[in-house]
Amino acid sequence: MNRGESGAVAHAVKGPEPRVPELEIPCLERGAEPKGVGKLQNNRSGAELGEPGVRVFKLKTKSVRGKLKEFYDMLTSLLPRDELPKSAFRYRREWENSFIEVIHSRLATGKWLRPAKKRENRRKRVKRKSSIPKRPPFLLTARFILSSGEQRGRRDAPVVVDLRRREVRIPRIGVAVPIPERLARALEEENRLEPRPEFVVQLCSDGRLRIIAKRAPEPRALEVPLRIIAVDENSRYGFVVAVFDFDERGYCRLTRFEVFKPPNHGHREGIVAALKSYADKPGLEALERVRELLPFTPTPDDAERLARAALARKKRLNNAFIETLVAGVRELVRGALQEGAAVAIVVDPINSESLQGTPLQGTLLRVRERLRNLARYEGAHFAELRASGRYCPFCGAEGVENGHRVFKCPSCGATWDRDRAAVANLVLRYLKALYREECQDADPLRLVDAMRAWLKRHIGFLLR
Ligand SMILES: [Zn+2]
């Protein structure tokens, strides 16, 4: 890179960040790039593709942002940097490459040359999206000191994650960031995983720090004992998570059935829309609408502030929903792996057309990506499959509607609730797909029988 050029770039840079994992602590993870929705995407390919699963742990660095920013500038500067140890530059090449990538993709889309859009809004606090991208994060190696005193990681690493003293230290710049207890426990657990994840610390240009754990263990062969975690995305009810365990003798049982309800933003969005239109064009009509929704009368400036706060709250609630669901599934996966079982996560993606433009769309897609990433990280199989509650879980015949969302089988006489049958059929479809893909090994078919036997014994499951 030409020195003058890249120097100029490095200083001008602000704007949408390159692809960086970002979520809330302590269980933040984010998948790799979304892949096309295939028929049966078994995730044993995860490891084969060489794309590890990732977990991201954010640190609170507010009090030392300045020092960290300086450190970032030192690390990414083209000036001589003899005062820093070599080990700090282990990932310098990666940083340069990702920077070049950002610039190339900007040039390719033509965004680089486009001047920043002038917004008509006269209020200054409105965030302007700059057309110039942010500098990518810089990666640093980390050494862990576990609570037992045991050390893991490279000795010369510039970052020390000290779980005994509950702090992350960068001795070179005299910075120490506390680690909350929950995060310390999570990091301790991650260090004890076998195989142990690969850890790096991400230093962002704005002084934020994240610990990234990467891992891609080979999933266990799909044999009993087997846990199938079925996740049915359903816009009416939220996420239905049903866990079916198959033991060594091939018996099936339902171990967990839970519905995760995403936050409802209907009312919030109405308020935001009213506040925004009032902030943009303060008029009597707009004010009336705001008054109908709020117990007080805001000024246009207040209205704008309130709208922003409401949107921020919506984002927080969505994130919290995703964290809860992903953490729940992770627990289910780890529990089964500890018992020596193979695990498969099977997702029935909601029809994306029915979601277009709805407030849930982004959240649902993120959950799916997070689950895919989780499967890779934990060593579980992952598949996306469509299943319908219209078909009989016992014989596969198309049911006839027999009441509100209730169906009856014209062939075997079974009755079922559509939403419940959808989850059961998801698991059954997965097992049948395995049978077709796995060299016609008859085991998956035995599991189909086992599951139908369970459904027969627990007919209430299908009727709720
Ligand atoms: Zn039937």
Q: Phi, psi (5° rounding) for residue 264?
A: -95, 120
Residue 65 sits at φ, ψ, to 5 deg, of -55, -40
| Spatial CA neighbour of 136 closest among 72, 224, 70 | 72
Residue whose C-alpha is closest to residue 346's, from 459, 451, 454, 422:
422
**Could you tell me if 81 and 99 lie in one domain?**
yes
Question: Which domain covers residue 391, as residue numbers?
Answer: 226-263+310-463
Could you say which of 249, 281, 302 is where a domain stops? 302
Q: How far is the CA of 426 from the centre of ligand 1 (A)?
A: 16
| Number of domain units in the chain | 3
Look at residue 24 in the predicted model and tell me its pLDDT: 32
246 assigned to some structural domain: yes
Question: SS3 of 456, please?
Answer: helix
Handedness of CA 291, 296, 299, 304 (dihedral sign): negative
**What is the Cα–Cα distance from 242 to 419, expressed in whole angstroms?**
12
pLDDT at 2: 40
Q: Which residues, 6+ apart, have CB-to-CB distance to 119 below 8 Å?
A: 126, 128
* pLDDT at residue number 43: 45
Residues 6+ apart with CB under 8 A from 459: none
| Residues 6 or more apart in contact with residue 384 via CB below 8 angstroms | 37, 38, 40, 41, 346, 347, 348, 349, 368
Domain for residue 198, yes or no? yes
Q: How far apart are CA 72 and CA 159, in angstroms?
A: 13
Residue 3 included in any domain: no
Residue type, 67: K
Residues 235 and 119 in one domain: no
Q: Can you tell me the distance from the alpha carbon of 344 to that of 219, in angstroms, rounded to the nearest whole number? A: 9
- 40 Cα: distance to centroid of ligand 1 (angstroms): 25
Residue 177 exposure: Cα atoms within 13 Å on the Cβ side: 26
Please tell me whether residues 184 and 207 are part of one structural domain. yes
Q: How far is the CA of 460 from the centre of ligand 1 (A)?
A: 16
Does 139 share its domain with 209? yes
- Count CB neighbours of 300 within 10 A: 17
| Residue where a domain stops, chosen among 215, 246, 275 | 215
Same domain, 79 and 116: yes
Q: In what order do the strands lie in the sheet with 415-417?
A: 400-401, 406-408, 415-417
> Does 367 fall in a domain?
yes
- 258 and 275 both lie in a single domain: no
The neighbour count for residue 417, using CB atoms within 10 Å, is 17
CATH number of the CATH domain containing 363 = 3.30.420
Do the domain assignments include residue 153?
Answer: yes
**Spacing, Cα 412 to ligand 1 middle (Å):** 4
Same domain (yes/no): 124, 144? yes
Q: Which helix (H) or strand (E) holds 311?
A: helix 300-338
- Confirm if 417 and 403 have CB atoms less than 8 A apart: no
Identify whether residues 126 and 247 lie together within a single domain. no
Pairing type for strands 226-234 and 209-215 reads unpaired
Indicate whether 258 and 380 sit together in one domain: yes
- pLDDT for res 13: 35
Dist. CA 222 → ligand 1 center (Å): 28
- 387: CA distance to ligand 1 center in Å? 16
Per-residue pLDDT of the chain in tens (464 residues, 90 and over written 9): 343 333 333 333 333 333 433 333 332 333 333 333 334 444 444 444 568 999 999 999 999 999 999 999 989 887 766 677 788 888 888 888 888 888 888 778 776 655 555 554 444 444 455 556 778 999 999 999 999 999 999 889 999 999 999 999 999 899 999 999 999 999 999 999 999 999 999 999 999 999 999 999 999 999 899 999 999 987 667 889 999 999 999 899 999 999 998 888 878 888 888 898 888 888 888 888 888 888 888 888 888 999 999 899 988 998 999 999 999 999 999 999 999 999 999 999 887 666 666 666 677 788 999 999 999 999 999 999 999 999 999 999 999 999 998 999 999 999 999 989 999 999 999 999 988 776 556 688 999 999 999 999 999 999 97
**Residues β-bridged to residue 403:** none
**Are 258 and 270 found together in one domain?**
no
- What pLDDT score was predicted for residue 117? 54
Whether 254 and 389 map to the same domain: the answer is: yes
1 assigned to some structural domain: no
Instruction: Output the CA 406–ligand 1 centroid distance in Å.
Output: 14
**Cα–Cα dist 294/463, whole Å:** 42
Looking at the fold, whether 79 and 140 belong to one and the same domain comes out as yes
CB 209 within 8 A of CB 201: yes
* d(CA 321, ligand 1 centre) in Å: 36
Domain final residue pick, 302, 321, 353:
302
Report if residue 34 sits inside a domain. Answer: no
Task: Fill in the DSSP letter of residue 105.
Answer: H
Decide if 17 is inside a domain. no
- Provide the CA 433 distance to its chain's centre, in angstroms: 26
The closest of 13, 37, 4, 19 to 365, measured between CA atoms, is 37
Task: Compute the distance from residue 415 Cα to the ligand 1 centre, in Å.
Answer: 8
